[in-house]
Structure 1
């Protein structure tokens, strides 16, 4: 459980009692610095913190979440699918936020500042959920090389120490196939940091190679919309989306195969009507035997919105597990429950 050491140390530094520091001469030593000097004492205190404080807090929040709507039995089904090895994560931009990376809308707003596109024009497109058109117009409103640089610089992880949040649990839960629509390099940097480097990272059109490598049971990352460090195979604008999701395209073929053969857990995904969600609807219509998919999503504000949202999702064979507030903390608690179900915590 070394990946939780940063959380433990953050809690030590947040202790309200300033007397926890030790002063020798003119030098102040924090509790973290003192414990690091004695690895045995560090692990003892870490174990006590885990068992006496952190795990009970996670279980309390987990119980609150499971008491919502139809969550409890859906979570039981989800954990059973995980234990059978049939659950695959689909990671969206919401999982990158605690590390300091922007949401997709935030990214588009950041890029606009380098373009000649008026702010009101972009906001109108975003208001109408025209994200593909917004990206395409942004690309046309600035030099191509500048657009490429902004994508790489705004979505690249330079300091792996900054990686934090619920996303750090993924290597403990999913050790084979991972899917993402993100262009950032958070997942590959994190898995490498945890000595679980992906054997294959397939982005954009190269996803067609997955059929060749999947039989080897190796660790694979599929980046359906490309990578921030390469223009090749990147899917941002409307034209690129139409090419990527047309009949016979590698992305559509492989994503359809994954939908039909695995249960997907959508994490940090808005699951609004977009290409990946509509492909789910398409597959659900032609394949009544498609496995159930799941999503961790924020609970809508009222009963009507809840009913409409649940109908929209379950019609696409996606069964939501709702949380009310604290996106990242709630997902952490759900991950803790999943790890406990596997006997790993």
Structure 2
């Protein structure tokens, strides 16, 4: 597949045929996400390859915040491919909503959406049951009370700095020194929310360091400018190379996935009339008018490698293709080794 020109698609144009079950949610639009992560929990977090290995417990991602702060809107846009404008019609969440997203995604974990009015100090609240096995806690803060045209960039930074300072002071006052918070300025109306959740999900992947090293080796030997390893369903990138992430580059890669999926759903129907021919052999090339090439190759059913390459370096397409096959084999080996290790640990637990 090859095309000329620039493309822009709204987040959420991903085919809903690849989506998940629907649940009742609440609305919101402009958000600031605070992500809470315990470094010492990394060894206890289940592998994202649990969906491949099978039978392994999945980590929880808890989404909390005040009422109408946008928690459910975020979940719908990122994991259910809902258009941001449609979130205005979501109902309020009045109970804890559990969403297992491993059915259609390589990344395997469960999301728990908490209603804003819940009282965590209520004696009937099952603290250990809910927070046990928590891989990450995402606290959503609405950056503004009134929905106006928008905040200036300077004001957004000031609000984030104020929230960050107050949160850190509260933790220190309560004697918590080993808790590290990550702060993200996000909106469901652009790709910033996808990038923020990419950072959250990456902390749940034990093989992240290995994946990043493989990407670094791939781009250094292929003349690639930037490479992302995407979870195709959610458009979350589970790993990237060591160079800084440019938001525009990330948006281009997300848009390319949208284009490939949409065209596959329209023109890629199998001979039996069921399912789209979007599989591990799918690939696409889009040449932009700024002499940049977008290159997509499916790693497996759920993962895709998306690269940005200068037009001059893309003349070595055969070398890039060969290096990709080596990269894909290495990725497969990483998760086969992980599955073997998990299986061995399970047998040892049973024998004990």
| Interval containing the TM-score (normalised by the shorter chain) | under 0.3
Higher fraction of strand: 2
Higher fraction of helix: 1
Q: Give the number of the structure with larger relative contact order, counting CA–CA contacts within 8 Å between residues 6 or more apart.
A: 2
Q: TM-score, normalising length from structure 2?
A: 0.23
